[in-house]
Amino acid sequence: MIGLLVAVAVFSFCLMIYAFIQAYSDNKQKKGQMVSKLLSQRTYLSWSDTLVKRLEQTEWAIGLSPKLTRSSISISAVEYMLFLVVIGILLQLILTLLLGLPWWLVLTIVSTLIPFGSNQYLRFRQRAYVRRLELQLPEMCRLLSSAISAGLSVSQALLLIVQEMEEPLSQELAPICRDIQLGASLEQVLTDWSSRLPSQDFHLFIHSILIQKEAGGDLGKVMADMSTTLEERKVIQKSIDAVISQSRSTAYLLPVLSVGFVLMFHRLFGGIGLLFQSWIGIVIIILFLVLQVIGFLLVKRISAIKV
């Protein structure tokens, strides 16, 4: 209990430091902008702002920023990495104070779990983002069908959709409409959008537009039929999700319960740190982790039903 309280206190202290630095940075930046606007002079950044600017120009920050945008996470790459550092420190304190593990093993676990957990979290958020886009696709097809039937072109219909629909679809389509207005071809813009959007429904939607544009035909009717089909698929998918929700929750609950039981027995009887002092104990721990991963993947695989 004492170790847990210490970990919570350290975590709260780290959050307080981060909030102070962020507030100080925002205040300094606002003051600099006001001075620059009034005096028409160059804005001088503080050392913290300069450090953040340099970190944002590094390769890992440049590569992480598109992932955060695709995951619908409205923070910068530097802020996200700061959160990972805080979580890593908190996890290191928990493993050291509660389990009494050696420092080299704690560093190995933290350096492995933090990147893996971060990648899994970003993938989860990206799938959720794509799922939100797919839920808006039937309405988009309906609006596109009505606009084309009224005599508008595909480019004009997409601009109308940006104005009428809510986020995230309007936010996703806004750069596409801007590129078209700047002179880019509709085919190239839609092809690039299809390549960076991991969704089979959107791939079908985009290729339907491109094929109908090249071969000719009633694109309005095609979009209306696609809207009806997607609505029916949405109803069926919701029914399947309701049926297999218990299996999906089991896939996430089993590893949590297993780790919880291990921690509970350690608090009651102690001695879990002895497993890391012999090869037999290390083999048992590796076997435990491997079986947990296999069980999780099997349950996820069985419950992954797509329409």
1 and 77, same structural domain?
yes
- Residue environment code for 280-300, b if the CB has 16+ CB neighbours within 10 A, otherwise e: eeeeeeeeeeeeeeeeeeebe
Residue 165 lies in a domain: yes
What is the number of structural domains in the chain? 2
Residue 197: closest CA among 166, 173, 224: 173
Domain boundary among 190, 219, 240: 240
User: Which CA distances in Å does 189 have to 126, 151, 155, 183, 185?
Assistant: 21, 22, 11, 10, 6
236 and 142, same structural domain?
yes
72 and 162, same structural domain?
no
169 and 70, same structural domain?
no
60 and 148, same structural domain?
no
Task: State residue 33's pLDDT score.
Answer: 59
Task: State residue 25's pLDDT score.
Answer: 53
Residue 35 lies in a domain: yes
Residue 20 lies in a domain: yes
Q: Give the CATH number for residue 192.
A: 1.20.81.30
Residue 129: closest CA among 74, 174, 71, 173: 71
223 and 158, same structural domain?
yes
Q: What angle do CA 254, 257, 259 make, to 5 degrees?
A: 110
Residue 193 lies in a domain: yes
Residue 252 lies in a domain: no
262's tokens:
């291990």
Do 46 and 25 meet the contact criterion of CB atoms below 8 Å apart?
Answer: yes
134 and 81, same structural domain?
no
H-only helix segments in the chain: 2-39, 47-56, 59-70, 77-97, 103-149, 154-164, 169-181, 186-196, 200-215, 219-269, 279-303
Range of the domain at 24: 1-97
Residue 121 lies in a domain: no
Residue 48 lies in a domain: yes
135 and 68, same structural domain?
no
In the predicted model, residues of the chain with pLDDT beneath 50 are 2-4, 6, 35, 38-43
231 and 142, same structural domain?
yes
Task: State residue 41's pLDDT score.
Answer: 45
156 and 59, same structural domain?
no
Task: State residue 6's pLDDT score.
Answer: 46
Residue 212: closest CA among 141, 161, 162, 159: 141
Task: State residue 79's pLDDT score.
Answer: 81
28 and 79, same structural domain?
yes
Domain boundary among 201, 225, 240: 240
Do 45 and 25 meet the contact criterion of CB atoms below 8 Å apart?
Answer: no
Residue 2 lies in a domain: yes
Domain boundary among 193, 225, 240: 240
223 and 181, same structural domain?
yes
